[in-house]
Amino acid sequence: MTTRVDHVITGGFPFLRLRCAGDGAETEALVSPPLGANLCRLTYNGRPIIDFEPDVLAQSRYTGAFLLYPFPNRMTDNRYTYNGKTYRHPYSTAPNAYMHGVAFGETFTVESLRADGGQASVRCQLDFAPGSPAHARFPFAHRFFVTYTLTPGRLRVDFAIENPGDTPVPFGLGIHPYFTRLGGDAGTRVEVPADTRMIATAALLPTGETAPVEGGYDLRAGQALGALRLDDVFLRAMGQKAVITYDGEAFRTELDAGPSFTHFVVFTPPGKPYFCVEHQTCSTDAFNLHAKGFVREAHLLEVPAGGVFEDWVEYAAVEG
């Protein structure tokens, strides 16, 4: 078993490269703390499970597997309401734009690096302290942590939110991985454990209403990507994994997460080399849905005063 963490330049960008090899599996991850702690690449035995486009990373950072925090995906009119007060989203003025939160546009600091005991890991922090750039964009004082831990064939992403203050911190959290179509359109199949989807407007904003999955929305038994045209929110059937299978490959990718991750967003753009299965702790536009009374559907979370939130997402390459 060998593990290593080193600094590399790939595609003109700085990364921490985590490598782990053993038991016939060689796994590598590229993480860039100065670019939103983006997990830009994950490979298994040289095959890219998640990958990034350098041009997109330079322009918008909407590539790789970027973090969705503290409000995933779109937002109605670029505004969100919490406890009766309305705030404006800091990054865009276009109506209902692709927001994706604040964290993806911030520089994270590295707290620790580790390469021993059969694993390689990096822990990064984003401080929302008053006076910081992050606090100016989301005015709730707290600290947000992400830890990437690589073992042979497996990457675990641990999240923590620490609230040292005396008022709650509201949030939604997700990760937006750009999975590769290793089996092509017809030979890459995605299986998502969701019995229910959220009905959305033409602007892809959930209304708060839900419907049973059927037809192209029913991914429970797996469907080939070539037949899908999705950019939709699903309610996760808890206790089950999402699975990606590939024709011609000797492995599949299994996606798992802790109990706070109650929603998926599935994005399958035609003609692109990627697709997305995004674990989220909440719905798209969660703050505004919650304010309208759709509490269960939105699943907006809070870290209480003096409290800590912790949960995780995991991607595993499984042989056979």
Say how many C-beta atoms besides its own lie within 10 A of residue 210's C-beta.
19
Structure tokens at 122: 């990096």
Each residue's pLDDT, cut to its tens digit, for the chain (320 residues) gives 899 999 999 999 999 999 999 888 899 999 999 999 999 999 999 999 999 999 999 988 899 999 999 999 998 888 899 999 999 876 665 554 447 889 998 999 999 999 998 999 999 999 999 999 999 989 999 999 999 999 999 999 999 999 999 999 999 999 999 999 999 999 999 999 999 999 999 989 999 999 999 999 999 999 999 989 999 999 999 999 999 999 999 999 999 999 999 999 999 999 999 999 999 999 999 999 999 999 999 999 999 999 999 999 999 999 98
pLDDT of residue 97: 46
**What is the side-by-side order of every strand in the sheet holding 119-127?**
109-116, 119-127, 143-151, 154-162, 308-319, 251-257, 242-246, 188-191, 223-224
| C-alpha 279 chain-centroid distance | 6
pLDDT of residue 48: 98
Euclidean distance between CA atoms 51 and 104, whole angstroms:
16
Structure tokens at 80: 């969100």
The β-bridge partners of 318 are 252
Q: Are 318 and 249 in contact (CB under 8 A)?
A: no
pLDDT in tens, 188-199: 999 999 999 999
Residue written as token pair 């991914």:
219
pLDDT of residue 259: 98
Q: How far is CA 23 from CA 41, 119, 162, in A?
A: 21, 13, 37
What contacts 104, CB < 8 A, 6 or more positions away?
36, 38, 61, 62, 66, 67, 68
